[in-house]
Amino acid sequence: MTSRRLFLNKLLTGVGFALPFFGAHKLLNGEKSGYPVNTIQKEPAGTRIIRPPGAVKEELFLAGCIRCYRCQDACEDGAIQFFTESSGRHYHTPYIDPSIKACTLCMKCTKVCPTNVLQPLEEEDLQKVRMGSIALYRDRCLAHKAKYIRNEQRMLMNLGRSYKETGVIYERRGPCGECHMFCPVREKAITLEPGSLLAPVIHEKHCVGCGLCEEICRQVVRGTPAIVVVALRDRGAL
């Protein structure tokens, strides 16, 4: 056999080995439109998957990201972290953990990504970003606790107790509203309840998921933050 035929033979053997797998894959998954869907849907334990701004859908993200670390180079705020081996197929992909550092939406990472899995955005496109959504735990929020205690105090005073008796401070509380101050889409994603205690009200559909509120809340309450970003399981493109 000539060398070229031997070579072609080996190449075809390789293709032949791969074809049955390909066929099985197509059969098992049916004819789905769009991108092929991986069957493993578990997220690494205890991790919120918050991708940098402009990230495409999760399945396409895992397929398209070439794990080049350019987004981490570009993120001068140090917001972008990378998954390690223990995260399985998420290994070497970028995420943002607001409990370490929140994203300031400078959009630099979206401009360096070579593969378009972070789609290029300008800083003005801020409101298109959907990295995650927001949840508020009123029992941990200083302002909401203060409001609750104030109402209780008023009730007890109406029942005839003295001001001194009812004003026992048993937890950190007080007017706050820091999350509202730091939110880049404030008055949309976070508004303040009327009244002087600056208690936040959240509006999930406007939240861009940057985590700046969580970052500052962590410092204000000095512990588990009252306002946290939750991952969106299936982001749309942008």
Partner 1 sequence: MRVQFRGIQVFRRLVQAGTVSIIFGLFFLSLYAHYRKINVTGIFQFEISPIMERIMPWIEGLISGMDNPEEFLDNFKGSLWSLRVAGFDISDPLGFVEMTFASGTFYMPMFISILIPVVFTLLMGRVFCSWLCPGYLVFELGSKLRKLLRYMGLKTEGTAYSMSNKYIFLVVGLFAAFLFSIPLFVFFYPPAVLSRIAHGWVFSAAFFGGLWVILTILLFELFVSPRWWCRTMCPGGALYGLLGMLRPVKVETALSECTHCGLCSGVCEPGINPVTDSESIECDNCGACVTHCPEGALYYTIKRPKFNKIFLRT
The residues binding partner 1 (CB under 8 A) are 2-4, 6-7, 10-11, 13-15, 17-18, 21-22, 25, 35-38, 59-60, 62-70, 72-78, 82, 84-85, 89, 91-92, 108, 111-112, 114-117
Residue 54, Cα to own-chain centre: how many angstroms?
A: 12
User: Of partner 1, ligand SF4, none, which one sits near residue 221, judging by CB under 5 to 8 A according to partner kind?
Assistant: ligand SF4
C-beta of 6: minimal distance to partner 1 in Å?
A: 6
User: Per CB under 6 A, does 59 bind ligand SF4?
Assistant: no
Pair 193, 138: CB distance under 8 Å: no
User: Per CB under 6 A, does 50 bind ligand SF4?
Assistant: no
C-beta of 42: minimal distance to partner 1 in Å?
A: 15
Long-range Cβ pairs for the range 112-116 (8 Å, 24+): 112/70, 112/71, 112/73, 112/74, 113/54, 113/70, 113/71, 114/66, 114/68, 114/70, 115/64, 115/65, 115/66, 116/56, 116/64
C-beta of 70: minimal distance to partner 1 in Å?
A: 4
- Classify residue 111 by burial, with Cβ atoms within 10 Å: 0-12, 13-18, 19+: middle
CB closer to ligand SF4, 156 vs 175: 175
User: Per CB under 6 A, does 56 bind ligand SF4?
Assistant: no
Task: Please tell me the distance from the alpha carbon of residue 29 to that of residue 35, in angstroms, as a whole number.
Answer: 11
Three-class SS state of 82? strand
* Closest by Cα among 129, 139, 141 to 175: 141
User: Of ligand SF4, partner 1, none, which one sits near residue 157, judging by CB under 5 to 8 A according to partner kind?
Assistant: none
Per-residue binding string, ligand SF4, 178-207, x by CB under 6 A, is xx--xxxx---xx---------x------x
Task: Please enumerate in sequence order all residues whose Cβ is within 8 A of that of 32, keeping only pairs 6 or more positions apart, or say none.
Answer: none
Task: Please tell me the distance from the alpha carbon of residue 221 to that of residue 228, in angstroms, as a whole number.
Answer: 13
CB closer to partner 1, 36 vs 167: 36
Q: Which residues in this chain contact ligand SF4 in the complex, by CB under 6 A?
A: 52-53, 65-71, 74-75, 77, 79-80, 94, 96, 103-109, 112-115, 117-118, 134, 141-143, 176-179, 182-185, 189-190, 200, 207-213, 216-217, 220-221, 226-227, 229
